[in-house]
């Protein structure tokens, strides 16, 4: 299912790589002689299959991508661009202030029994409120700066920017706004840092984005922008960048930037839902409940998230449930064009919606639409561990037609007496309401997978019936964070 972003020269920074967002230390690299998977100039052979494509160009950032930065410049007021050709020149940049060391990510101690936002978070949130009414102009200005000042980075993005336009900057700004939300944000940023390797992102790319971020914010939040606000953004963005850089460097020592995967079967369950099974070109470690990003040869540099539809298998095959959605480039390609023999690319696994096998707590699982895919994987995972813990699955759909995998779930129920599967068909898709009719659930760990709207209402419903927030897991933390929830 759809699961649940160089030291710049002559831009107010030192040409030797020094600058505001310069990493505190250079990231570790693989030992000499070991090929770097993420370097487009050092191609890695694909799987030995007929028709396997050559290595694709560095991939683009998509929904989940938060770009990091390592240097920034303050910009003077210039006309707002509508295209890159109107972006201000680097000569208009003002001298950057003295770098401020990056802080660690930590939540400030609560005062008076409630958690108090850090001073930087207050300034960041004030900036966000100021630019909210002109978000579209901020986005256009950001990309105009980025592509004019750093035209070499344009190749990292999709040819058609309409699918990308708002996601990159929105995700970046939202991560900054949540800088005090350590529990969610650190894990989120580490996943992003690891995931960035598949885009071809290198540490030397980071300064450009930070530079253009500061330039865009200073222009459109000029009424409140001052040195204190700028310094808060510098510290915040430096912290974000460093978490991502460190995670990518650590991951580079143990995993490739991406995997090639050959389609071995394509099962069209409904006119718009397919189960696609692939064989990776090398071992692909993951946990049941996780998801990956996937790129097709039809739309290079466009990646989308899909959950694994089974627990790890002995044959190494991976399956995904894909629903073609209107204007969905990747989903339509996978449902209507993919065939056995086609070769896709997979990013690293991500997600924390996994089973804690150290407890005997029951599992309450809510799966909406193709969100049943990772729920099925969780059931298989519990079965493989051989522990008879109760698992309650609510399978939601708008119509009987959308219960495309109900037979599989009912067979699992027949084979495992500890499993209960309840289909919920409602035109309004009120799956959380159905959950309230059963229970009690206060001793269960809850898992939700499906559209973000369903997850939001589901989380609220589960809290209402007594499940602590710490025992509620879902597969779209990234989407909910990026949506500002």
CA–CA–CA angle 38, 41, 43 (5° rounding): 70
Express each pLDDT in 176-197 by its tens digit. 877 888 777 888 788 888 888 8
CA distances (Å), 15 to each of 7, 68, 71, 153, 209, in order? 7, 19, 11, 18, 16
Where are the extended beta strands (E) located within 174-240?
Answer: none
CA-nearest of 61, 62, 59 to 297 is 59
Task: Using CB atoms within 10 Å of the CB of residue 78, give its burial: 0 to 12 exposed, 13 to 18 middle, 19+ buried.
Answer: middle
Q: Are strands 444-449 and 74-75 parallel, antiparallel or unpaired?
A: unpaired
pLDDT at 5 over 60: no
Query: Cβ neighbours of residue 179 under 8 Å, at least 6 residues apart?
Result: 105, 118, 120, 121, 124, 185, 236, 239, 240
Provide mean pLDDT across the span 50-76: 34
Instruction: Please tell me the distance from the alpha carbon of residue 142 to that of residue 361, in angstroms, as a whole number.
Output: 48
Give residue 284's pLDDT.
97
Provide mean pLDDT across the span 449-454: 86
* Strand partners for 365: 393, 447
Express each pLDDT in 107-124 by its tens digit. 333 333 346 788 999 999
pLDDT at 477 over 60: no
CA–CA–CA angle 389, 394, 398 (5° rounding): 165
Provide mean pLDDT across the span 395-414: 92
Output the average pLDDT for the chain.
75
Instruction: Please tell me the distance from the alpha carbon of residue 109 to that of residue 480, in angstroms, as a whole number.
Output: 25
* Strand partners for 397: 425
Side-chain half-sphere exposure of 100, counting CA atoms within 13 A: 19
Provide mean pLDDT across the span 14-35: 36
Provide mean pLDDT across the span 66-91: 36
Q: Tokens 């993951």, residue?
A: 286
Give residue 311's pLDDT.
97
Report the first-to-last Cα separation within the chain, whole angstroms: 21
Express each pLDDT in 324-365 by its tens digit. 999 888 999 999 999 999 999 999 998 889 999 999 899 999
Q: Are strands 303-307 and 318-323 parallel, antiparallel or unpaired?
A: unpaired
Instruction: Please tell me the distance from the alpha carbon of residue 216 to that of residue 145, in angstroms, as a whole number.
Output: 8
Give residue 483's pLDDT.
37
Q: Provide the token pair at 420.
A: 């209960």
pTM: 0.68
Residue of 481 and 198 predicted with greater confidence = 198
Provide mean pLDDT across the span 92-99: 36
Express each pLDDT in 258-293 by its tens digit. 999 999 999 999 999 999 999 999 999 999 999 999
Express each pLDDT in 432-442 by its tens digit. 777 878 878 88
pLDDT at 62 over 80: no
- 3-class secondary-structure state, position 177: helix
pLDDT at 35 over 60: no
pLDDT at 171 over 70: no
Q: Are strands 291-295 and 273-280 parallel, antiparallel or unpaired?
A: unpaired
pLDDT at 380 over 80: yes
Neighbour tally for 97: CB within 10 Å: 13
Provide mean pLDDT across the span 192-218: 88
At residue 211 the predicted structure's pLDDT band, cuts being 50, 70 and 90, is very high
Give residue 231's pLDDT.
95
Give residue 18's pLDDT.
30
Residue of 63 and 211 predicted with greater confidence = 211
């Amino acid at each position: 299912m759809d699961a649940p972003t160089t030291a710049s020269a002559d831009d107010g920074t030192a040409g030797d790589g020094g600058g505001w967002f310069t990493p505190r230390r250079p990231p570790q690299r693989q030992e000499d002689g070991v090929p770097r998977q993420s370097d487009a100039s050092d191609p890695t052979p694909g799987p030995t299959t007929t028709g396997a494509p050559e290595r694709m160009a560095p991939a683009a950032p998509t929904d989940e991508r938060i770009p990091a930065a390592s240097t920034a410049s303050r910009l003077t007021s210039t006309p707002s661009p509508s295209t890159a050709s109107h972006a201000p020149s680097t000569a208009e940049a003002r001298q950057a202030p003295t770098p401020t060391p990056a802080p660690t990510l930590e939540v400030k101690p609560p005062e008076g029994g409630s958690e108090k936002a850090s001073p930087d978070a207050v300034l960041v949130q004030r900036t966000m409120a100021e630019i909210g009414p002109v978000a579209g102009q901020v986005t256009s200005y950001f990309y105009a700066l980025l592509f004019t000042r750093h035209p070499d980075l344009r190749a990292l993005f999709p040819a058609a920017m309409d699918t990308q336009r708002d996601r990159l900057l929105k995700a970046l700004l939202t991560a900054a706004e949540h800088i005090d939300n350590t529990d969610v944000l650190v894990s989120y940023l580490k996943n992003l840092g690891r995931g960035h390797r598949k885009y071809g992102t290198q540490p030397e790319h980071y300064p450009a984005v930070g530079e253009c971020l500061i330039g865009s914010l200073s222009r459109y939040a000029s009424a409140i922008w001052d040195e204190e606000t700028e310094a808060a953004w510098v510290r915040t963005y430096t912290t974000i960048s460093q978490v991502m850089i460190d995670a990518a460097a650590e991951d580079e020592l143990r995993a490739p930037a991406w995997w090639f995967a050959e389609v071995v079967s394509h099962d069209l369950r409904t006119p718009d839902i397919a189960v696609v099974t692939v064989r990776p070109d090398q071992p692909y470690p993951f946990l049941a409940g996780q998801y990956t990003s996937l790129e097709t040869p039809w739309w290079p540099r466009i990646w989308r998230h899909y959950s694994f539809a089974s627990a790890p298998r002995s044959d190494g095959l991976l399956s995904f449930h894909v629903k073609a959605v209107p204007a969905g480039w990747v989903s339509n390609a996978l449902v209507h064009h993919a065939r056995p023999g086609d070769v896709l690319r997979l990013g690293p696994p991500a997600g924390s919606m996994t089973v804690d096998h150290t407890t005997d707590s029951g599992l309450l699982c809510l799966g909406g639409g193709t969100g049943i895919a990772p729920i099925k994987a969780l059931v298989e995972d519990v079965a493989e561990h051989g522990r008879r813990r109760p698992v309650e699955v609510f399978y939601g759909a708008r119509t009987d037609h959308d219960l495309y995998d109900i037979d599989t779930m009912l067979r699992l129920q027949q084979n495992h007496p500890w499993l209960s599967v309840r289909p919920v068909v409602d035109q309004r898709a009120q799956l959380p309401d159905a959950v309230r009719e059963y229970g009690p659930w206060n001793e269960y760990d809850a898992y939700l997978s499906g559209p973000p709207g369903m997850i939001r209402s589901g989380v609220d419903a589960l809290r209402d019936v007594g499940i602590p927030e710490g025992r509620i897991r879902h597969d779209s933390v990234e989407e909910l964070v990026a949506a500002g929830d």
